[in-house]
Amino acid sequence: MDEAVELLEGELGSGQRSLDDLVTEDLWPVFLRFGRRLFDVSDTPDADGLLFQYGTYAFDGPPAFTLDLTRQFEISDNNGDHAHYVQVHCEPRYGLAPALPETISRSGLKD
C-alpha cells in the first residue's frame, strides 16, 4: 500500500505526454488498471475501495469542472480497529464551457 502513489504516478508518466498534457482518454484506462491492482490490506469491507466524485469547484484558482478518481485504503491500529483512511487521488480539471443561451425555444412544452 505504501507504493500506491508511486505506482499510479509511474503508470501516468509512462506515456509520451507530460502529466499536465494528459486528457481523460489517457487517465481513465490508467486509473482502471490501478484500481485492479491488489494491495496487502486487511480483510474488512472498507479496507480497499474506489471512490468517484465530480463537480465545479474553485479551490485554488478559477472555477473548473473537476473529476476526482480516488483509491481509498483503510488503516487499522494494532488492535485491528479503524484508525484512518489513506487516499490516492487522480484529479483531472477542465475549463468551464460558456453558459447555454437562456433563449431556448419552449415550443411544444407544456408547463
Strand partners, 92: none
Residue 16 lies in a domain: yes
Q: What is the mean pLDDT of each run of 10 residues along the chain (111 residues)?
A: 86 74 86 93 90 92 92 92 92 82 53 49
On whether residue 75 sits in a domain, the answer given is yes
pLDDT tens digits along 58-80: 988 899 999 999 999 999 899 98
The backbone region for 23, taken as left when phi is positive above 0, alpha when psi lies in -120 to 50, beta otherwise, is beta
Gyration radius (Cα) of the chain, Å: 19
Domain carrying residue 74 = 4-40+50-94
In a domain? residue 108: no
Residue 53 confidence (pLDDT): 95
Distance between CA 28 and CA 11 in Å, rounded? 11
Distance (Å) of CA 8 to CA 62, 72, 98: 27, 13, 33
Residue at 105 is within a domain: no
Q: Angle formed by the axes of helices 4-13 and 24-36, to 10°?
A: 140
Residue 14 lies in a domain: yes
pLDDT score recorded for residue 25: 87
Q: Count structural domains, the chain.
A: 1
Structural domain includes residue 109 = no
Within-domain flag for 18: yes
Predicted TM-score of the model (pTM): 0.75
